[in-house]
Amino acid sequence: MSKTKKEKKASVRKNILEIVPIRGISEQGYYYMDDGSYMDLLQIQAKDLINSSEDEVEYDCLKFAKLYRLYAEPLKIVCINFPCDYAKQKRFLEYKIKSTKNTIFKEQLQKKLDELEWLEKHNTTREYYYMIFSETEEGLEKNMRTLFSVLGGGRGGLIDKISFEKKKEIQFRLLNKCIMTNG
């Protein structure tokens, strides 16, 4: 028996443009892709299903069912864990600790501050997004109108628009999956 030499596989180095399909951002704030199509992100509003009434949960399920019957374009649900941000609460507690003279009250405030710091390090918030796609910007706007008309936007709705800064953070987290801290 003769041993055959194992052929070395040619190593192919990919650059970021080959891996990430996003090429830029349009004037309307939509991402345009390498194939000429467009993409945008919408946030799915989280609800407390345990404390909601059965009718409300059923109504929301019917809205999603209607959407999936009406919506024909590609749609992707993205779920991301974000670290909790308690910076405002921590600043307020630090201010109160500095301004109070009551030692017992200071101790209680310090315990609360320590709890917030622990939560910031060990707790995450799960957020859900729709990635919507279309061949044209007009098609993307039509798809967004469909989503908002079926699911509703704003306070009582199931989806909402997000800021450009938040979109950048989401894309950063999608492309850097090992990131867990803010920054």
The two structure tokens encoding residue 90: 């921590």
Going by pLDDT thresholds of 50, 70 and 90, the confidence category of residue 148 is: very high
Taking the alpha carbons at both ends of the chain, their separation in whole angstroms is 59
Assign 145 a pLDDT band (cuts: 50, 70, 90).
Answer: very high
pLDDT for residue 112: 94
Query: Closest Cα to residue 30, out of 144, 122, 180?
Result: 144
Average pLDDT over residues 78-95: 90
Beta-carbon count within 10 A of 39 CB:
18
- Give the residue-averaged pLDDT of 14-38: 81
Token output for 89: 């609460």
In 8-154, at which residue ranges do the beta strands (DSSP E only) sit?
22-25, 31-33, 38-44, 75-83, 124-134
Nearest-angstrom CA–CA distance, 145 and 135:
16
The confidence band for 68, taking pLDDT boundaries of 50, 70 and 90, is very high
Of 22, 31, 24, nearest to 137 by C-alpha is 31
Identify which of 143, 93, 95 has the alpha carbon closest to the alpha carbon of residue 114: 93
Please report the beta strands in the chain, taking only residues with DSSP state E, as ranges in sequence order.
22-25, 31-33, 38-44, 75-83, 124-134, 159-161
